[in-house]
Chains A and B, each alone.
Chain A
Amino acid sequence: MDVDALDEWIHSHLFDQVPQAISVIDREYRVCKTNHRYTEIFGTWHDRTCYDVLKGRSARCGGCQAAQVFADAQPRTTDDVWLDKDGRRGHYVVRLVPIPGEDDRVEYVMEMATDITESTKLEREHQILFERTPCYVAVLDRDLRMVRANEALRTTFGDHSGKLCHEVYKHRSDRCPNCPALRSFEDGQVHTEESVGVRQDGKPARYVVTTAPLARPGEPIEYVIEILHDVTDVLDLKDELERERLFLRSLVDHSIDGIVATEADGKIAVLNPAAEGLLALTAEDTIGSGDLARVFPEEFLEVLASRGASCVLPETAIRVGNEDIPIRFSGVVLRDDGRVLGSAGFLQDLREVKRLEREKLDAERLAAVGQTVAGLAHGIKNILTGLEGGMFLLRWGVEDDRKDKFQQGWEMLDRNFDKITSFVREFLSFAKGRVPVVAPTDSNRIVTEVVELYREAATEKGVEVTAELDPSVGEANLDTEAIHSSLANLVSNAIDACLVSDHKGGHVTVRTRERDGRLELEVEDDGCGMDYEVKRKVFTTFFTTKGTEGTGLGLLVTKKAVQEHGGSIDIDSTPGAGSVFRIILPRDRLPQLTPEDDEQQGGGSAV
């Protein structure tokens, strides 16, 4: 094909082949001619106006650009939104070119439309992304001057126009060392840097800065886009979490009690040093294992199996090797809104506590024995007085042949030998003691029995004995017989106190009470009361205020019985107003129902 032929081919085909939609309209705005692309997009056009085809209108558009071209014969470029044959909107850049007629008038206008719908959409999306992204985004020129800034940046740092990047973010006039934007300008690469700046309110801020060149590879770089992410809060939170974690970690590590925790899958996740020691395990071998029987007592395993919530075991045991170690245990299933996160157990080694408790009980028992021995002397002294007196009178009677003195002395000796017999018998029963028989016992029942025992005899003497029972008192491991005789002794003393009192017709009240983990048995009377000399001596010697009536052993026996239950006796007394004797039995010191403890208590009562 020669050049002329080529020319002719181009003229005849170009109109149809260009990718733009081309139409020609006459002065009536009727579409006269179109190319292939136009028909493809807008459909049939014969005998229709341009505004009908492109906009579905019945009248010419206001501000019609074609009308201007018809008027001044100047080509124009505009953009417009047209509807395609299916009614979809499209964005076009349109070049309007005048086609002159014979009389120099513009006879036709040619409209060449380029579809920019897609690129307009992209541009809008970019705009939104740039503006609305929750970081500070700026476009920097080679001087690091901000030429554009997004909404977040403008809102936070105010007017940025013409300011330098480091002025805005760091309040500094010189450039930052290691500036990532400068590096992006130099090497055309993306750079990320952590940086410390100043917030609008003057507080320090921590940023992650990313810079990227705004140019295609190989082109000179005029601008760099810079994105700053304020991570101050995140990092502060991270630091705080780390501190919190360390704090908890150190609490767990230094706890005297063993701490064991599992994850939701039942695998052991925490085993602190105290737990390692107590359970003879190493964290290394145990963490990740699911063998919970090695770290939790059976009761808690049942709670876990039955999807329970928690359990507190004041005293239980855990098997370590072939030894049962006494522990106090508290276990809890960790939940977040019903979802199981795992479980945690706290184990307190009770071996030392148990040992100390045993030693304390032993010491108290020994002290009771010591006081008993010291007190013996007093009982014996009274009898010796009688014996010496008897001998004195007997001797006088013999020496001076005084029959009356002889008779008197003989009777005194006789009486005191009887006293010795009963004293020794009573003392032996005290000293020998008996093996306590401990069983779960209802204290209210004991009190009722004791009150019944004394009520009638007391009433005859004008003393009223009543019981006030606390229904919340639960069963306790008691030696029924020992507690019964202790209470009986206190009640008997209380009745005596009422009888020797000036105001006859007294009252004795026996109470039970459950308070602060202690079982209390109380005997109150409104009898003679005691002054402090008597109060002090009541338990410490064979002490009696009953003349020849008492041996002084009663309260000592009572004290011994109470001490063997790990308890104590409190006295409140006012001379002339009455006394309260209170047996206090801390529940955690009561005897256990094990053969071992029974044996110890039996052994402790020997003198």
Chain B
Amino acid sequence: MAGAHYPPLDRPLSVLLIDDEPDVLTYLAAVLEQAGHRPLVASNAGDGFALLKQERPDVACIDIVMPEETGIALFRRIRSDPEIADTPVIFITALRPELTAITPAAGEEAMPEPDGYIEKPPDAKAFLATIVEVVREKRRQ
């Protein structure tokens, strides 16, 4: 079973998934559910932020490219809200190589550094491993 190679955490994790693609949400939620974690899903940044404030999940996985508010804008909002600023954030993206190559235009802030990346298409084992690793790292601090 996925996640079996890793020492179990003391309790199941609650994981917030924010992506505008329903297939991604369904897939990743299924992976988490099967591994015994508790998935929370939102299909846009606004709903995701509300859910984050309300449920205080252990980790938030955010798609970068979403209409209206992008994942990066949402990430900035999270980091600047003291209540939830220390929530670990993982970007779900197919754009990782390109993203790191972006240099901000004049007057624009550089992209903030997230706690981890999950590349699309996600591999179930790697996804779970990243979640656990990020939460552990955060707790160590």
- A residues with a Cβ closer than 8 A to B are 377-378, 381-382, 384-390, 392-393, 396, 405, 408, 412, 415-416, 500, 528, 531-534, 536-537, 540-541, 543-548
Within 8 A of A (CB), among B1-44: 20-24, 26-28, 30-31, 34
Q: Are A382 and B122 in contact (CB under 8 A)?
A: no
**Cα separation A412 to B26 with both chains bound (whole Å):** 9
Given contacts A378-B95, A412-B23, A547-B21, 10 further A-B pairs with CB under 8 A are A378-B94, A389-B26, A389-B28, A416-B23, A532-B104, A533-B99, A533-B102, A544-B65, A547-B66, A548-B21
**Cα separation A261 to B70 with both chains bound (whole Å):** 66
B-chain residues with CB within 8 Å of residue A415 when the two chains form the complex: 23
B-chain residues with CB within 8 Å of residue A386 when the two chains form the complex: 23, 27
B64 at the interface (CB under 8 A from A): yes
> Contacts A382-B21, A385-B21, A385-B24; is A500 near B30 (CB within 8 Å)?
no
B68 at the interface (CB under 8 A from A): yes
Q: Are B26 and A545 in contact (CB under 8 A)?
A: no
Report the minimum CB–CB distance from B122 to chain A (whole Å).
7
A-chain residues with CB within 8 Å of residue B65 when the two chains form the complex: 533-534, 537, 543-545
Q: Are A532 and B26 in contact (CB under 8 A)?
A: no
Q: Are B27 and A500 in contact (CB under 8 A)?
A: no
Selected A-B contacts with CB under 8 Å, 11 pairs: A378-B94, A385-B120, A389-B30, A392-B124, A500-B68, A528-B67, A531-B72, A532-B102, A533-B64, A533-B70, A533-B102
Report the minimum CB–CB distance from B17 to chain A (whole Å).
12
Q: Are A412 and B27 in contact (CB under 8 A)?
A: yes
B-chain residues with CB within 8 Å of residue A532 when the two chains form the complex: 102, 104-105, 108
Q: Are A500 and B67 in contact (CB under 8 A)?
A: yes
> Contacts A384-B121, A533-B64, A548-B21; is A389 near B108 (CB within 8 Å)?
no
Report the minimum CB–CB distance from B6 to chain A (whole Å).
19
Within 8 A of A (CB), among B56-111: 64-68, 70, 72-73, 94-95, 98-99, 102, 104-105, 108, 111
**Cα separation A481 to B65 with both chains bound (whole Å):** 31
- Nearest neighbor of B29 in chain A, beta-carbon distance: A389
**Cα separation A543 to B93 with both chains bound (whole Å):** 12
> Contacts A415-B23, A416-B23, A548-B21; is A393 near B30 (CB within 8 Å)?
yes
Interface of B is mostly: loop
A-chain residues with CB within 8 Å of residue B24 when the two chains form the complex: 385, 389
Report the minimum CB–CB distance from A151 to chain B (whole Å).
79
Residue with the greatest number of chain A CB neighbours at <10 A, chosen from B20, B26, B27, B64: B27
> Contacts A537-B98, A540-B98; is A396 near B34 (CB within 8 Å)?
yes
Q: Are A531 and B94 in contact (CB under 8 A)?
A: no
A387, A405, A537, A548: the one contacting B95 at CB < 8 Å is A537
Report the minimum CB–CB distance from A220 to chain B (whole Å).
99
Q: Are A541 and B27 in contact (CB under 8 A)?
A: no
**Cα separation A531 to B108 with both chains bound (whole Å):** 9
**Cα separation A415 to B22 with both chains bound (whole Å):** 11
Report the minimum CB–CB distance from A22 to chain B (whole Å).
119
Report the minimum CB–CB distance from B63 to chain A (whole Å).
10
Question: What is the number of residues of chain B that contact chain A, defined by CB distance less than 8 Å?
Answer: 33
Q: Are A545 and B67 in contact (CB under 8 A)?
A: yes
B-chain residues with CB within 8 Å of residue A534 when the two chains form the complex: 65, 70
Q: Are B31 and A547 in contact (CB under 8 A)?
A: no
Report the minimum CB–CB distance from A396 to chain B (whole Å).
6
**Cα separation A416 to B28 with both chains bound (whole Å):** 16
Report the minimum CB–CB distance from A149 to chain B (whole Å).
82
- Nearest neighbor of A552 in chain B, beta-carbon distance: B65
**Cα separation A424 to B73 with both chains bound (whole Å):** 33
A-chain residues with CB within 8 Å of residue B99 when the two chains form the complex: 533
Report the minimum CB–CB distance from B68 to chain A (whole Å).
6
- Nearest neighbor of B123 in chain A, beta-carbon distance: A388
Q: Are A382 and B120 in contact (CB under 8 A)?
A: yes
**Cα separation A540 to B98 with both chains bound (whole Å):** 10
A-chain residues with CB within 8 Å of residue B21 when the two chains form the complex: 382, 385, 547-548
B22, B30, B98: the one contacting A405 at CB < 8 Å is B30
A388, A540, A545: the one contacting B122 at CB < 8 Å is A388
Q: Mark B97-139, 1 if CB is under 8 A from A, else 0.
A: 0110010110010010000000011111000000000000000
Q: Are B120 and A381 in contact (CB under 8 A)?
A: yes
Report the minimum CB–CB distance from A69 to chain B (whole Å).
119
Report the minimum CB–CB distance from B125 to chain A (whole Å).
11
**Cα separation A200 to B20 with both chains bound (whole Å):** 97
**Cα separation A1 to B94 with both chains bound (whole Å):** 154
A-chain residues with CB within 8 Å of residue B23 when the two chains form the complex: 385-386, 389-390, 412, 415-416, 548
Q: Are A533 and B27 in contact (CB under 8 A)?
A: no
**Cα separation A534 to B111 with both chains bound (whole Å):** 13
Q: Are A547 and B67 in contact (CB under 8 A)?
A: yes
Q: Are A388 and B67 in contact (CB under 8 A)?
A: no
- Nearest neighbor of B19 in chain A, beta-carbon distance: A547
Report the minimum CB–CB distance from A413 to chain B (whole Å).
10
Q: Are A385 and B67 in contact (CB under 8 A)?
A: no
Report the minimum CB–CB distance from A71 to chain B (whole Å).
121
- Nearest neighbor of B68 in chain A, beta-carbon distance: A500
Report the minimum CB–CB distance from B31 to chain A (whole Å).
6
B-chain residues with CB within 8 Å of residue A531 when the two chains form the complex: 70, 72-73
**Cα separation A547 to B26 with both chains bound (whole Å):** 14
Q: Are B68 and A385 in contact (CB under 8 A)?
A: no
A-chain residues with CB within 8 Å of residue B120 when the two chains form the complex: 381-382, 384-385
**Cα separation A532 to B67 with both chains bound (whole Å):** 13
Report the minimum CB–CB distance from B128 to chain A (whole Å).
12
**Cα separation A225 to B34 with both chains bound (whole Å):** 130
